Amino acid sequence: MTSPSFSLLIVGTGALATLFAARLRAAGVEMTLLGSWPEGVEALRRHGARLWVEGEAEARAFSVRVATRPEEVGQVRFALVLVKAWQTARAARHLQACLAAEGVALTLQNGLGNVETLAGALGRERVAVGVTTTGATLVAPGVVRPGGEGVIHLGEHPRLEPVVRWLQRAGFSVEVSPDVQGLIWGKLAVNAAINPLTTLLEVPNGALVANAAARLFLRRAAWEVQAVAGALGVRLPFPDAADAAEEVARRTARNLSSMLQDLRRGAPTEIDAISGAVVRFGRQVGVSTPVNQALWEMVKEKVERRRQAAPSAHKKNGA
């Protein structure tokens, strides 16, 4: 039997997957991307993962291996899961076929429920959890513009050390924390405050703090998440979720949120795993979440209107 490869598998071909692939390849890390988005797969195969840094005349390209089926990957010890929350079940099935028994899959995804889905397929011991505030905008399939630098926060896991070294070699700031639930809910608070509003208004992140009404909605959405987390006994990694969300919006002022990028290219959004999750958990613990409820419903309505107006575009998924 062939020994599992010590290289890295990146599951996804969207903005963050392309960014991580480019930076890791620039640092000499061997990896394969696994995805099903036809335009993304073709672009990555033909031109590599292209990193478009502001001020440079053209994007820097880094050759990468791309697979569309887990059978093409072989057995790997390390996987980085960077697909959208609604794609996690498929990613888990693919990883069942190619992640070694002693391997580990690290999820840096948005929203709630990803860990449980992956663990249900792979076993909890083969799933590591993290969050990242690193920003990226997909300029075109296979071409990414870096956003805010951010930090990668990882929960403790005994098999993660090689992945941590690779990420640090690629210039990412990595911190390990024992309180992974606090990290996940902290990221959820920021996402719930920024992503739906930027999607509804179709503005970059910084516009939310430049407008008094938008800023108020941002703060209220974040506070609702903090209230739900507190009722669940989860302590966020910052004292005030609204202040944290504002700080991220300012630091990534020119970025387009991932949800707005999804809307514009006709892909499904992660609204159910973000605002929808806040509402569902709020109901469980008896915490009212009217702002997140409204944002959830309005984004879903906007996505549906876009889908009806351009049904063919909605088939693109960025996986």
Domain stop point among 114, 145, 178: 178
Q: How many CB atoms lie within 10 A of CB 312?
A: 8
Residue predicted with more confidence, 10 or 58: 10
Instruction: Evaluate if residue 318 carries a pLDDT over 60.
Output: no
- Model pTM score: 0.90
Q: In angstroms, what CA-CA distances link 201 with 13, 177, 196, 251? A: 26, 35, 9, 19
Question: What mean pLDDT comes out for the span 285-305?
Answer: 98
Query: Residue 316's Cα: distance from chain center in Å?
Result: 17
| Whether the predicted pLDDT of 84 surpasses 80 | yes
- The pLDDT tens digits for 233-263 are 999 999 999 999 999 999 889 889 999 999 9
Q: What is the pLDDT of residue 149?
A: 76
Shared domain check, 53 and 141:
yes
Q: Are 252 and 135 contained in the same domain?
A: no
pLDDT of residue 319: 61
* CATH code assigned at 207: 1.10.1040.10
pLDDT at 176: 92
- Which residues are the active-site residues? 187
pLDDT single digits (tens) 25-64: 999 999 999 999 999 999 999 999 999 987 787 899 999 9
Distance (Å, whole) CA 245 – CA 44: 33
Task: Return the pLDDT at 180.
Answer: 85
* Domain range enclosing 307: 181-315
CA 192/CA 275 separation, integer angstroms: 6
pLDDT 10s digits, 184-228: 999 999 999 999 999 999 999 999 999 999 999 999 999 999 999
Domain end residue (candidates: 145, 178, 211): 178
